Amino acid sequence: MKNFVLVCLGVLAVTFAAIPAYGRDDDEEMSPFVLARRIGEPDARAFYLFSTSIGNYTIRFDGMGEVYIKARKKVFHLKSGARGRVTRIYFFEHDGDLLLLYQADNTGYLVRMAQQTRKPRWTKSVAGNFKPPIMRDGSLVFNDGTVISLSGT
């Protein structure tokens, strides 16, 4: 009976060890971007919440954002177009800056923002149907082949 239990545990261990590798190529890279948590309905008022090493962020569906740094609220605004609605937000900290990748209606935007000043260093338009990009050699590579360099941009 003891041998039977050991064999079963061995089979389970091998099975669970193989699950993450199954269905994914070894060459497939993961995106460093993380999806922000949405509170609210997609077609109504929605808020996106996430935290970084600097503070806690809340971004409203219309692009109005707040960050709480040491119990003080700082405000910023994201480009969303006339009457545009933010429908999803991804975030990633890079070299102390905050990279926000978001979709407003049918357009995607990538913003590199200095977290201390909340001022955008640059904003790039990307395809609205983007998947979070992968990081390769200091650049972000999108699913449509767009490459955006993070060094010197």
pLDDT value at residue 113: 94
Q: What is the CATH number of the domain that holds 118?
A: 2.40.128
In a domain, residue 14? The reply is: no
pLDDT value at residue 2: 54
Domain count, the chain: 1
Selection from 137, 114, 91 nearest residue 150 by Cα:
137
Contact 120, 98 (CB under 8 A): no
pLDDT value at residue 67: 94
Global confidence as pTM: 0.78
pLDDT value at residue 82: 77
Selection from 89, 113, 85 nearest residue 34 by Cα:
89
Q: Which domain holds residue 98?
A: 30-149
In a domain, residue 53? The reply is: yes
In a domain, residue 6? The reply is: no
pLDDT value at residue 6: 43
Ranges of residues in the chain with a pLDDT under 50 are: 4-27
